[in-house]
Structure 1
């Protein structure tokens, strides 16, 4: 390969040249192409032996042979142990995303249930992210849906509050949760502190898999209430027992011999893979999730599963057991690496019979069915993208389509939304929203809002990926609007030198009917598609998804502002003092009109703070 007249060697010769500088240390190696892009990251017990293996032609799979042919240089990092090399390898793979490695593309965190400890009447709620709040955490659950279902069931059984501490303190009468028998209303004294603590203890026992005694005790309490003719209490206890029975029934497979484990099943077909993970915690099934790692044509199951496990648990704590569908290449090394990470033993099992093998069979069945659905959807998506390319004479089939929309009410709570579609359908992890900041915009100025959104988007792309190598640049823009919107966006693209990106404006026809959309492009006549054209339906779905996302973001922004008052901006006025002021004066408007002496009379408001509040509202005039 030549560069400016100089010959740059690649392949076996280059790799062989590194042997004289390497010893038998463990470590991590990187293979780079002629433009210094990382092709592959690997670990080795003995770096010299591993590199020597790459330097000999003839014994490699087609994928590895292609990788060697493209290798122009290598980089090495030695480690003290092979375990350290494995951990470093997985970190680098996730960071660098090399072309020839198996890569886990989904890196989302999983939700937990949190029972708080910072209040006399603990709250139960969904929690995602770092575990910084004081309390007991139970999880992970496979999805927000799995957590929400469990929380709803727990509230029916144990009647724990889910309101915030601020909401709790401000209640003067029971909320709707009490009316529909989802909360015991400790906020207004409907339950004693001792009774509430008992229900919290019961909920935590249930989440820890110790629910048998709870049902027995509730049944005894129900019988006692009936004997004492406390029929309302007896009926409430009956409802709780019924709800607890229903929870245990609807959880599905609750294995008897597996308490804390992840069940991991891998299915591969036609160069694609699906990994299905079931979360078993406290002897209960807390849901499952599927993953589609990027793999090559000739990768073995052992390599795929080992790479998945290494990357999956890079930022997550593994349970004591991983129950696998296939052996991996280095099970002892992986177990040691995971144990080192969390400072306790982790066991990797590949069961052949019994309950564990049945659990693996279930994971494999789910993986097989999920991959079949995804491959069918992918084939349809590929066909639609090809149809879109032909219909609009695009230079190539787009890998990334960005669709933009705005939402507002007469200019208020304005937001812009971007959704992304590609070869794998709608890419929800890539969606973005934009709070419209333009102070000089006329309320309802859709052109101005779209200009602001696209300006911010292209500024960020140019800053973060000026060479367009990271895959974040769109191959096609879809704009909700007609000729005016297209012209406004084209001005922005011209300003930032990105006019080579195709752009289409999608506008309703004259009678505003879906199905009669008109498509606007710069320098081209307005066009339409056949009413029953699959490409038209595809564009409508993308536009509707952008609209749905924009509306959802707008509503969330509007809802957040409903409880807002001018007091929120006064320095030194937090939630507690805000409540005191509103309770004393009745409204934020009355606080703004109050004289200094009245402000000083409010409980919890010091003389200095009263002067700050008074100055805030009276210096503006």
Structure 2
């Protein structure tokens, strides 16, 4: 907030150079997470990057120094780097990182970079001024780079420990639900609506490394035969559309977007409805489990439903239960968010949007005069003619649109 106020004050005083500096600092701050005791006196404005690799996994640790003060740090884990030299990985990372973040005047790295001169030229152009890209050789800057490399190694160790825990969790899920092996892709489904209105189906996806948010999907419930409020019919529609697309995209059903486990929000009825859909489509190899809350919808007492009618539960503090609750809650959050967005959009649209010749200004005037779109629809031709800014011809057109014919003049 303080930086924003300073930036506005500098601009108001026509000190645009200072305003630009403060603007860049404010932009950079939005990309910075965490804090750490780092002695950066005398460094000025600098970003510090160090890279570490273990077992085919790469971590780039970044420190962000502004005005000689530590503004935070962040660890990044670039993908597909197992067989790529570290200097190339770091150079490529910096090019991508500074596409959205303004470079500071100094960038320190723990190693010489591939095509360093070309990278420095690109960063100077991005910054609109000189950018020093260098590997420090002595003093506090070397200590900062060394600390960054140590942080990268520690981040890799933490990630390896988390991956081990996640792998064990996936093995336990496979054992619980009698899967052939640890699931690589879990799809979780939920519906959201209010009394059947603005109905939305939602699918979230999780894998060995957590939620795969880029593959989340929402489904507007649109079939005429799907009765409003019929949760079973909505789930059937969602699964039919999802697997019709999946079969078209991946007829061999191997890997990729083909799920290893389906979790649906619901009990026996929902499981039966979904199993009927999958059987009818010839999708019999995907394991299906329903998740229902216990008495009084008490979280922690969930029941897991198999298609063959079996039901199982887990102890309240069981790690697999916590994990499955997280999956279900994420699906619920995504479904509710999509439903609210759809409902909000519906609130700003009306039947007047479809009337020929009625633009935003005229629609606003009619709503101001009559109060609601329903009142406009019910208005007589005479009342429409009295509305401000509505000509006789336009009034006739509005009346004919809603009543399907001409009215007596």
TM-score, normalised with respect to structure 2: 0.77
1:415 aligns with 200
- Residue 473 of structure 1 aligns to a residue whose secondary structure is coil
Q: Is 1:394 matched with 2:179?
A: yes
Deviation string, structure 1 residues 509-547 (Cα, Å, up to 9, x no partner)? 455433332222223622223333221222122112211
Q: Distance in 1 between matches of 2:16 and 2:221?
A: 44
- Residue 413 of structure 1 aligns to a residue whose secondary structure is strand
1:541 aligns with 326
1:480 aligns with 265
Task: Check conservation: 1:209, 1:283, Cα contact below 8 A.
Answer: no
Question: Displacement, 1:326?
Answer: 2.6
Task: Mark the runs of 5 or more structure 1 residues left unpaired by the alignment.
Answer: 1-149, 160-197, 212-249
Question: Displacement, 1:603?
Answer: 5.1
Question: Which structure 2 residues correspond to residues 138-287 of structure 1 after superposition, within 5 A?
Answer: 154=4, 208-209=20-21, 263-277=48-62
Q: Distance in 1 between matches of 2:61 and 2:266?
A: 41
1:448 aligns with 233
Q: Distance in 1 between matches of 2:248 and 2:236?
A: 18
Q: Is 1:499 matched with 2:271?
A: no
Q: Distance in 1 between matches of 2:270 and 2:222?
A: 19
Question: Displacement, 1:605?
Answer: 4.6
Task: Check conservation: 2:103, 2:127, Cα contact below 8 A.
Answer: no
Question: Displacement, 1:429?
Answer: 2.8
Task: Check conservation: 2:205, 2:216, Cα contact below 8 A.
Answer: yes
Q: Distance in 1 between matches of 2:15 and 2:397?
A: 46
Task: Check conservation: 2:52, 2:149, Cα contact below 8 A.
Answer: yes
2:341 aligns with 556
Instruction: Flag the 1:615–1:403 CA change in 2: closer, same or farther, 3 A.
Output: same
- Residue 311 of structure 2 aligns to a residue whose secondary structure is coil
Instruction: Flag the 1:605–1:411 CA change in 2: closer, same or farther, 3 A.
Output: same
Task: Check conservation: 1:275, 1:292, Cα contact below 8 A.
Answer: yes
1:591 aligns with 376
Question: Which structure 2 residues correspond to residues 371-390 of structure 1 after superposition, within 5 A?
Answer: 371-390=156-175
Task: Check conservation: 1:267, 1:368, Cα contact below 8 A.
Answer: yes
Instruction: Flag the 1:283–1:455 CA change in 2: closer, same or farther, 3 A.
Output: farther
Q: Greater shift after overlay, 376-385 or 275-284?
A: 275-284
| Match for residue 525 of structure 1 among 310, 314, 328 | 310
Deviation string, structure 1 residues 277-328 (Cα, Å, up to 9, x no partner)? 5678999999765431235666542232234345656x76874865433322
Count residues with an aligned counterpart: 394
2:88 aligns with 303
1:214 aligns with none
- Residue 181 of structure 2 aligns to a residue whose secondary structure is coil
Q: Is 1:508 matched with 2:293?
A: yes
Q: Distance in 2 between matches of 1:607 and 1:358?
A: 81
Instruction: Flag the 1:295–1:416 CA change in 2: closer, same or farther, 3 A.
Output: same
Question: Displacement, 1:210?
Answer: 5.5
- Residue 208 of structure 1 aligns to a residue whose secondary structure is helix
Deviation string, structure 1 residues 421-445 (Cα, Å, up to 9, x no partner)? 1111222333222222122222211
Task: Check conservation: 2:81, 2:89, Cα contact below 8 A.
Answer: no
Q: Distance in 1 between matches of 2:231 and 2:377?
A: 35
Question: Displacement, 1:389?
Answer: 0.9
Which structure exhibits the higher relative contact order, with contacts defined as CA atoms closer than 8 Å and separated by 6 or more residues?
A: 2
Instruction: Flag the 1:409–1:578 CA change in 2: closer, same or farther, 3 A.
Output: same
CA RMSD of superposed structures (Å): 4.3
Task: Check conservation: 2:7, 2:18, Cα contact below 8 A.
Answer: no
